[in-house]
Amino acid sequence: MRRFALIAVPYLWLLLLFLIPFVIVLKISLSDVALARPPYMPQLDLSTGWEGLKAFFAELDFENFTFLTTDDLYWKAYLSSLKIAAISTLLTLAVGYPIAYGMARAAPEWRPTLLMLVILPFWTSFLIRVYSWMGILSTEGVLNTVLLKIGIISEPLMIMNTPTAVYIGIVYTYLPFMVLPIYSALEKMDESLIEAAEDLGCSKLAAFWLVTWPLSKNGIVAGSFLVFIPALGEFVIPSLLGGSGTLMIGKVLWEEFFNNRDWPVASAVAVILLLILIVPIVLFQRNEQKAREAEG
Amino acid sequence: MRRFSWFNATSLTLGFAFLYLPMILLVIYSFNESRLVTVWAGFSTKWYGELFRDQEFLDAAWVTVKVAVFSSTLATILGTMAAYVLVRAGRFLGRTLFSGMIYAPLVMPEVITGLSLLLLFIGIGLDRGVFTIVLAHTTFSMCYVSVVVSSRLSSFDRSLEEAALDLGCSAFEAFRLVTLPIIAPAVISGWLLAFTLSLDDLVIASFTTGPSATTLPIKIFSAVRLGVSPQINALSTILIAIVTIGVITTSIITKRASQAQARDEQAAIRAED
């Protein structure tokens, strides 16, 4: 009996507040927009019984999804989100790998402190970390002022409200997610393997490419997914740093819902985003499972 | 045989400069007399004064703390239960669905979680406000708690629990007297994680709130949409200071606790000899 209650309480909570809301999104994505409260048709009215239920299902259609394919705003936004997420994942890897490498090769007594320094920004508000770049990148911002004073540039750089600002924002906020898995893979590595490779005639670079890089692959893959997946649906970064010049699907969904009040289309956008996300999520799960099996 | 490497030293220095410089600049400019970002007009704490006189910010801060305390506590209870079910309950009907529902919210875009919860709240006619934000935050943070707790649960020696049961404890007593003290550090870090996630959340709170409740991130977001604001710099500095002190204190406490544990274990080993 107690076991039953233990399972039932979290189970029911998640069913009610996680699964059922999705079913509702799915249903509304098949409905039509209407000038009513709530603003969509048809409404399910159970009091009319079986006939009402049949009429309800007859009115559902894929019109919103057809609409998404005809208006190029949407598929452009999906493509641009995929592109921005992919490029910023590569950039995060390029910035994060040397940091993780430096940490894993630092003296052991330094490592806990370095680890804490990487985790500390993660605990500080995400919104504030994104916001901190607004003062740096804007036209009269710190970066432009400094560069103009030194004389490297004569015109202020226009970084704010461009995709570049979004890349910087994503790399900055998601860096710990990339550094930590790579660090834990590199830290476990036996350094004598490198010495062996060098003794056997490998150059430093060849030893890195042939030994270190493959051994840190699990960390790289895990870190890349941990950046790519949330970056794809990101809302805060494109809306604060990207301006109107950056198209991302999270922002489109938000505007469709709050500004246009088109709930059916917003729901359809959410359903497609979820379908796109299933691929990387399944790949990520598989990678994790393989890593666990390799260790166990 | 550890040689000093210029490459490692440079990459660490540059990496940490990148991580910390933006926040350090934010802190510095919060003490700027001028409203403009780049003009340094002398040291001043006037933006802090303005912040504390702004009733809207104080109200938003209070709402945020209330939501965070309630949701993280609820999430810790539910998440620990869920972790226990995942690791210990064995097979039951719908186990795959259950573990799927635990892991899915971790990778779900916030806009989708927020949208779906809002549509649910409207569908069942629930008035939106503090209560609905608490429900929403509890739902996604319980999943984080359960991941943290279940990794601790699956790593500890189960025979300790069995010994307690053999010695006459009821299942609940064995949990309270043996399991809970062992997993306590994970439960506490789960609570802290849930608390921070709730403090930090903008997107889900924006979807699930009503006109009666504005949280601090919602307030900050609407203030900075149009550009840098010195008041928000001051607020950010306060939040950064709180987090820094919190993280450093926690890490010192856990370090001391693990040292004490190591000492105890060594004493036990010596006693056995």
Radius of gyration of chain A (CA): 25
pLDDT over 70 at B150, yes or no: yes
A84: tokens are: 């921005």
Instruction: Tell whether B53 and B183 lie within a shared domain.
Output: yes
Residue A198: pLDDT band by 50, 70, 90 thresholds? Answer: confident
Work out the average pLDDT over B231-260. 86
CA B23 to chain centre: 20
pLDDT over 50 at A234, yes or no: yes
Nearest CA in chain B to A232: B109
pLDDT digits (tens, 9 = 90+) for A115-165: 989 988 888 889 999 999 998 998 888 888 888 888 888 888 888 889 999
Alpha-carbon span B234 to B45, nearest angstrom:
9
Nearest CA in chain A to B84: A6
Work out the average pLDDT over B154-176. 84
User: Is B243 a member of any domain?
Assistant: yes
Work out the average pLDDT over A90-114. 93
Q: How many CB atoms lie within 10 A of CB B82?
A: 30
- Where helices occur in chain A by DSSP H, the ranges are 2-14, 20-29, 49-59, 63-70, 72-104, 111-123, 126-132, 134-137, 142-150, 163-188, 192-199, 204-207, 213-215, 217-232, 236-237, 249-258, 263-295
From chain B residues 16-75, the ones with a CB under 8 A of any chain A CB are 16, 18-20, 22-23, 25-26, 29, 36-38
B99: tokens are: 């573990």
Output the CA–CA distances (angstroms, integers) from residue A169 to A83, A126, A131, A159, A240, in the order listed: 15, 10, 9, 11, 9
Nearest CA in chain B to A19: B101
Nearest CA in chain B to A144: B38
Q: Which residues of A touch B15 (CB under 8 A)?
A: 95-96, 98-99, 102, 179
CATH number at residue B56: 1.10.3720.10
A162: tokens are: 């461009």
Q: Which of B146, B220, B248 faces A127 most closely, judged by CB atoms?
A: B220
Residue closest to A172 by CA, chosen among A213, A196, A136: A136
Q: Which of A96, A116, A250 faces B109 most closely, judged by CB atoms?
A: A250
pLDDT (0 to 100) of residue B137: 97
Work out the average pLDDT over B141-155. 91
B101, containing H or E segment? helix B95-107
From chain B residues 117-156, the ones with a CB under 8 A of any chain A CB are 117, 119-120, 122-123, 135-136, 138-139, 142, 146
Are the Cβ atoms of B224 and A240 closer than 8 angstroms?
A: yes
pLDDT (0 to 100) of residue B264: 80
Whether the CB of B190 is below 8 Å from some CB of chain A: the reply is: no
Output the CA–CA distances (angstroms, integers) from residue B243 to A30, A46, A219, B196, B208, in the order listed: 44, 50, 27, 9, 26
- Where helices occur in A124-201 by DSSP H, the ranges are 126-132, 134-137, 142-150, 163-188, 192-199
| ipTM attached to this prediction | 0.87
User: Is B65 a member of any domain?
Assistant: yes
Chosen domain end from B227, B243, B260:
B227
Work out the average pLDDT over B208-223. 91
Average pLDDT over all residues of chain A: 87
Q: Which of residues B260 and B221 earns the better pLDDT score? A: B221
Instruction: Tell whether B204 and B100 lie within a shared domain.
Output: yes
Instruction: Tell whether B130 and B237 lie within a shared domain.
Output: no
Instruction: Provide the number of structural domains found in chain B.
Output: 2
Alpha-carbon span B27 to A290, nearest angstrom:
44
Alpha-carbon span A215 to A190, nearest angstrom:
10
- Measured in degrees and rounded to the nearest 5, phi and psi for residue B32 equal -85, 135
Instruction: Tell whether B243 and B221 lie within a shared domain.
Output: no
pLDDT (0 to 100) of residue A45: 58
Q: Which residues of B touch A234 (CB under 8 A)?
A: 109
Instruction: Tell whether B167 and B249 lie within a shared domain.
Output: no
B65: tokens are: 């703390």
pLDDT over 80 at B157, yes or no: no
Cβ distance A56 to A222 under 8 Å?
Answer: no
pLDDT digits (tens, 9 = 90+) for B60-85: 999 999 999 999 999 999 999 999 99
Instruction: Tell whether B160 and B255 lie within a shared domain.
Output: no
Nearest CA in chain A to B26: A132
Give me the count of residues in chain A: 296
Instruction: Tell whether B123 and B154 lie within a shared domain.
Output: yes
pLDDT (0 to 100) of residue B155: 81
Q: Which of A107, A132, A179 faces B25 most closely, judged by CB atoms?
A: A132
pLDDT (0 to 100) of residue B1: 41
Q: Which of A13, A98, A118 faces B11 most closely, judged by CB atoms?
A: A98
pLDDT (0 to 100) of residue A78: 93
pLDDT over 60 at B3, yes or no: no
Instruction: Tell whether B159 and B208 lie within a shared domain.
Output: yes
Instruction: Tell whether B235 and B222 lie within a shared domain.
Output: no
Alpha-carbon span B267 to B259, nearest angstrom:
12
Instruction: Decide: residue A245, CB within 10 A, 0-12 exposed, 13-18 middle, 19+ buried.
Output: middle
Burial letters A186-215, b for 16+ CB under 10 A, else e: bbebeeeebeebeeeebeeeebeeebbeeb
Instruction: Tell whether B174 and B273 lie within a shared domain.
Output: no
Task: Kindly tell me the sign of the dihedral angle through the C-alpha atoms of A68, A239, A26, A265.
Answer: negative
pLDDT digits (tens, 9 = 90+) for A248-278: 999 999 998 888 888 888 999 999 999 999 8
Radius of gyration of chain B (CA): 23
Are the Cβ atoms of B26 and A135 closer than 8 angstroms?
A: yes
Instruction: Tell whether B184 and B273 lie within a shared domain.
Output: no
pLDDT (0 to 100) of residue A66: 84
pLDDT over 60 at A4, yes or no: yes
Cβ distance B198 to B136 under 8 Å?
Answer: no
pLDDT (0 to 100) of residue A1: 66
Give the CATH number of domain A71-295.
1.10.3720.10
Domain that holds residue B187: 48-227
